[in-house]
Amino acid sequence: MANKTAIITGASSGIGEATAKELARSGIRLMLAARREDRLVQLKKEIEALGGQAEYRVTDVTSRADMESLAQATIEAYGQIDILVNNAGLMPLSYIRSLKVDEWDRMIDVNIKGVLYGIAAVLPHMEERNEGHIINVSSVAGHEIAPSGAVYSATKFAVRTLTEGLRKELRPDQNIRTTIISPGAVDTELTHSITDTNVKTVMSGFLNKIVPLKGEDIAAAIRYAIEQPTSVSINEIIVRPTSQP
Ligand code: NDP
C-alpha cells in the first residue's frame, strides 16, 4: 500500500473523509477533492497529524476541466495516480410527480457525469502505466428502487453499469482493476440535500428503525479492495447495516 497514490472525490465529509483517513493510515499518499476548501484544509491537517501525506484541490466534479486539473495536480505532486475513488455524490430524493427537475439535473451531473469525468481524467495515465484501480461508489440503491428514489437509483445503477462496462473493455494485460462499492444506509450528510419534507420524514423514520453504518465501515471495504494483490480484482462490495431490510 505504501508509495501508492489515491485521488478521493467528495473527501470533505462522510464516506470520502473516512476513506481518506483509512487510506492515509495504510501509507497511501492522497489527493483530496471537493468544493468546500475549509473542510479539505482541516482534513489535510488531520491526516498529517496521523503521520499521513495529503494534498488537496478544490474541485467540482461536474467540471471536466476541474477533473483534468485534479489528475494533473496529482501527477505533479506524486508522479503517478494509482487509485481513483469516485465518491462524490448527491441524494436529493423526491417523487417523480413532484417534478424537481433541477434536482434531477444535479444528481445526473454529479453522480453520473462526475464519475465519467473522473474516469476520463485518469484512464489515459493508467493505460500508459499499465496499472491502476478505479473505485466507483454506487449504492444499495443501485440494486433496489424505492418510492422517491427513482432518479437517485437511476444514477447509481448507471455507476454500476459504467464500472462493469469499463471492466469488460479493459485488456487483461492492462492491470487496471475496477471496484463498485455499494453501501446501504451510512450516517453522513447525504440526506441534507433532501428538500421534499414528506420524503425527509419517511427517511428519518427509516433511519430511526435501523443502526446505520459509519463512514469508517465503507472505508474499510474500500481499503480491502485496494490491499488485495494486483492479480485480484474485487469487482463489487455491498455493505448493508445488519438491521437494514
Ligand atoms: P456526504 O454528503 O457526507 O458527502 C458527499 C460528498 O460529495 C461531499 O464531500 C461533497 O463535497 C461531495 N460533492 C457533492 N457535490 C460535489 C461536486 N459537484 N463536486 C465535488 N464534490 C461534490 O455523503 P456520503 O459520504 O454519504 O456520500 C458519498 C457517496 O456515497 C455518494 O456517492 C453517495 O451517493 C454514496 N452513498 C451514500 C450512502 C449513505 O447512506 N450515506 C449510501 C449509499 C451510497 P462538497 O460539498 O464539499 O463539494
Instruction: State the closest ligand 1 atom to the C-alpha of 186, by its place in the atom list counted from 1.
Output: 40
* 16-59 tens-digit pLDDT: 999 999 999 999 999 999 999 999 999 999 999 999 999 999 99
Q: Which three-class secondary structure state does DSSP give residue 7? A: strand
Distance 99 CA to ligand 1 centre (A): 23
* 58-111 tens-digit pLDDT: 999 999 999 999 999 999 999 999 999 999 999 999 999 999 999 999 999 999
Distance 87 CA to ligand 1 centre (A): 6
CATH architecture of the domain formed by 5-238 = 3-Layer(aba) Sandwich (3.40)
Per-residue pLDDT at 2:
77
- CB neighbour class for 96 (10 Å; exposed up to 12, middle 13-18, buried from 19): exposed
State the Rg of the chain over Cα.
Answer: 17
Per-residue pLDDT, averaged over 171-196, amounts to 97
Question: Helix crossing, 64-78 with 114-129: angle to 10°?
Answer: 40
- Which residue from 85, 190, 238 has its CB within 8 A of the most atoms of ligand 1, so it is best to mutate? 190
- Which residue from 62, 188, 203 has its CB within 8 A of the most atoms of ligand 1, so it is best to mutate? 188
Q: How high does pLDDT run on average in the chain?
A: 97
Q: How far is CA 113 from the centre of its chain?
A: 13
Q: Please, are residues 134 and 163 in contact by the beta-carbon 8 Å criterion? A: yes
Distance 146 CA to ligand 1 centre (A): 19
ipTM score of the complex? 0.99
Distance 89 CA to ligand 1 centre (A): 4
Please state whether the predicted TM-score (pTM) of the whole model is above 0.90.
yes
- Check if 19 has its Cβ closer than 6 Å to any atom of ligand 1: no
Q: How far is CA 240 from the centre of its chain?
A: 16
Of the pLDDT bands very low, low, confident and very high (cuts 50, 70, 90), residue 134 is very high
Q: Please, are residues 150 and 96 in contact by the beta-carbon 8 Å criterion? A: yes
- Check if 37 has its Cβ closer than 6 Å to any atom of ligand 1: no
Q: How far is CA 123 from the centre of its chain?
A: 16
Residues annotated as part of the active site: 152
The ranges assigned to domains in the chain are 5-238
**H helices within 79-113, ranges in order?**
101-107
